[in-house]
Amino acid sequence: MLLEICPEEMRFLDSVRAFVADEVLPNTREWESNTAFPDTIWPRLGELGLLSMTVPKELGGAGVSCVAYVEACREIATGDPALAMNIAAINALCAAHIVHFGSEEQKRKYLPGIIKGDIKLAWGLTEPDAGSDARRVKSVATPIADRPGYYHLNGEKMFITNGGKANLIILIARTSETELSAFLMETDQAGFTLTDRIHTIGVRASNTVRFQMTDAIGWHTPCSFEQAISLLYRGRLGIAGMAVGIAEKAFELTVEYGKQREQFKRRLVDMQSVQNMIADSATELEASRLLLHKGAVMFDRGEDVTLISSMAKLYASETANHVTNRAIQIHGGRGMTFEFLVEKLWRDAKLTEIGEGCSEIQRMVISKNVVGK
């Protein structure tokens, strides 16, 4: 599919590409070994419009199309997948939540700081006992009698991206036995306690945490659970973009390596088994890009992307895992060393099959949609 991107968004994507080449890729190993991004990254992301891609221009944001959003996620993932994951979640799940469900007062209070990177965000759905089965959330929200719109939050969240850095967390909690809704919780309060930094095999620079809420104060954003969760559809396209970026980088490095490495008096890329792996990776990558772009175009046209976003995420994330695995194979022993980036991409790729709904959940969504009720 030939994407139609307007000149303004082309310039935006050019600036993202330059940022990745000059400021992201050269630092990706250091960020991983520090298991952190530098604090200076936030204002820089704000300046580039990368924290407000889903915030309309009328509200001061970068307000780009979904096509530009997924392309930005893809570009960033070629430099640092963990950064792409954070940017994807912050835009699609956090900032977009305030845009869609926040009151005028909430938008006025938080959006300017979010756009600039002064207010750092996280999104909290997952709990120790509520993962794929998100409706099992146990965190409870109880109205505070003399403060309309404010609730006491009690419970625990786990695997929350950027949770230890965030000033504001958008989280899902239970308002009754049958209903869930979403709340804005500032982290600078006594009721919020970080309990654990979770270290993962991939996306290690990302600040993944577990936290406890004990009578923490949350500000209600009136919306149903289904409405809050529907933001995951564009979110999944962002993760699919991240997966395509990871696969593209691994593929590029592998072709480069295969052209210069010789064995049996031939380049690796001249051996048929290697050619087969390269052909499979190229084809899966192309198909992933097509699904990704189709989903983004449909979103921009206002069409329902429930099905296509699951298809794009499922296929692109499995592609990222296949392509990075083949990349290591073609690099041979060197592929297993920390000297070559393909091992990191292979570890980072795994997240795309798990975050924002594991592959089994995507298959469930796809099957339900194609079979019907």
Give the residues lining the site for ligand FAD (CB under 6 A): 89, 123-126, 131-132, 159-161, 200, 203, 208, 351, 354-358, 360, 364
- Compare residues 265 and 373 and give the one whose CB is closer to ligand FAD: 373
The residues, ordered by sequence, that sit 6+ positions from 51 with a Cβ below 8 Å of its Cβ are: 42, 45, 87, 90, 91, 95, 114, 115, 116, 117
Question: Residue 1 is encoded by which pair of tokens?
Answer: 């599919």
Start-to-end CA span in the chain (Å) = 31
Question: Mind giving me the DSSP string for 65-109?
Answer: -HHHHHHHHHHHHHH-HHHHHHHHHIIIIIIHHHHHH--HHHHHH
In the complex, what is the shortest distance from the CB of residue 350 to ligand FAD, in angstroms, rounded to a whole number?
A: 8
**Alpha-carbon gap, residue 32 to 339, rounded angstroms:** 13
- Compare residues 124 and 335 and give the one whose CB is closer to ligand FAD: 124
The residues, ordered by sequence, that sit 6+ positions from 57 with a Cβ below 8 Å of its Cβ are: 63
- Among 307, 312, 243, 320, smallest CA distance to 1 is for 312
236 class by beta-carbon count within 10 Å (0-12 exposed, 13-18 middle, 19+ buried): buried
| Cα 157 to Cα 163, 165, 192, distances in angstroms | 10, 15, 11
**Could you confirm whether 356 is annotated as catalytic?**
yes
* 3-state class (DSSP) for residue 183: strand
In the complex, what is the shortest distance from the CB of residue 157 to ligand FAD, in angstroms, rounded to a whole number?
A: 7
- Compare residues 203 and 253 and give the one whose CB is closer to ligand FAD: 203
Reported in sequence order, the residue ranges of the chain that DSSP labels E, i.e. its strands, are 121-124, 140-143, 150-161, 168-174, 180-186, 192-197, 208-221, 262-263, 266-267
Number of H helices, E strands in the chain: 12, 9
- Compare residues 213 and 277 and give the one whose CB is closer to ligand FAD: 213
- Compare residues 67 and 182 and give the one whose CB is closer to ligand FAD: 182
In the complex, what is the shortest distance from the CB of residue 94 to ligand FAD, in angstroms, rounded to a whole number?
A: 9
The catalytically annotated residue of 75, 318, 343, 356 is: 356
In the complex, what is the shortest distance from the CB of residue 90 to ligand FAD, in angstroms, rounded to a whole number?
A: 9
Q: What's the chain's Rg over C-alpha atoms? A: 21
- Compare residues 245 and 258 and give the one whose CB is closer to ligand FAD: 245
By beta-carbon distance, which residue lies closest to ligand FAD?
131
In the complex, what is the shortest distance from the CB of residue 152 to ligand FAD, in angstroms, rounded to a whole number?
A: 21
Question: Which residues form the catalytic set?
Answer: 356
